[in-house]
Amino acid sequence: MRLPIIDDVQVRQNTKRIHQEMERPWIMPIRVAWEMAHGLGLGKQHKLLSKASTKMAKSNRNEVRSYDAAIYMAAHMSSGLANACSGADDCINPCIVYTGRSMLHNGPQKTYAKRLYMLIYWPNVFFTLLYRELEAHWRAAQRRGAIPAVRLNGTTDIPWEKVAPWLFKDFPTIQFHDYTKVYSRLDRKKLPDNYYLTFSESSSNHHRAKEALERGWNVSFCSDVMPRTWHGFPVTDGDHHDSRYLDPRGHAVWLSPKRPNNGFDIRTSEFVAWIDTPYALFNQGGLK
Ligand code: SF4
What is the chain's pLDDT, residue by residue, as a tens digit (288 residues)? Answer: 677 778 899 999 999 999 999 989 889 999 999 999 999 988 666 689 998 666 666 666 656 689 999 999 999 999 999 999 998 888 888 888 887 666 665 668 889 999 999 999 999 999 999 999 999 999 999 999 999 999 999 999 999 999 999 999 999 999 999 999 999 999 999 999 999 999 999 888 988 999 999 999 999 999 888 999 999 999 999 998 899 999 999 999 999 888 777 777 777 777 777 766 544 444 444 444
CB 133 within 8 A of CB 42: no
* H-helix or E-strand spanning residue 177: strand 175-180
Phi, psi of 99 (to 5 degrees): -95, 175
What CA–CA distance (Å, rounded) separates 148 from 136?
Answer: 10
Query: Could you identify the atom of ligand 1 that is nearest to the CA of residue 87?
Result: 1
In the reported structure, the alpha carbon of residue 88 is separated from the centroid of ligand 1 by a whole-number distance in angstroms of 5
What CA–CA distance (Å, rounded) separates 71 from 49?
Answer: 5
Question: Which of 56, 52, 54, 50 shows the shortest CA–CA distance to 242?
Answer: 56
Span between the terminal Cα atoms of the chain, in Å: 35
In this prediction, residue 57 carries a pLDDT of 64
Domains of the chain, residue spans: 8-18+29-283
Query: Could you identify the atom of ligand 1 that is nearest to the CA of residue 271?
Result: 7
In this prediction, residue 225 carries a pLDDT of 86
CA angle 75, 60, 236 (to 5 degrees): 75
In this prediction, residue 279 carries a pLDDT of 44
- Global pTM reads 0.90
Query: Could you identify the atom of ligand 1 that is nearest to the CA of residue 96?
Result: 8
| DSSP structure class, residue 171 | -
> Which residues line ligand 1 at a C-beta cut-off of 6 Å?
75-76, 85, 87-88, 91-92, 95-97, 155-157, 181
Sheet containing 66-71: which strands, arranged edge to edge?
49-50, 66-71, 147-151, 175-180, 195-200, 219-222, 252-255, 233-237, 229-230
In the reported structure, the alpha carbon of residue 54 is separated from the centroid of ligand 1 by a whole-number distance in angstroms of 18
3-state SS, residue 109: helix
In the reported structure, the alpha carbon of residue 28 is separated from the centroid of ligand 1 by a whole-number distance in angstroms of 32
In this prediction, residue 288 carries a pLDDT of 45
In this prediction, residue 287 carries a pLDDT of 47
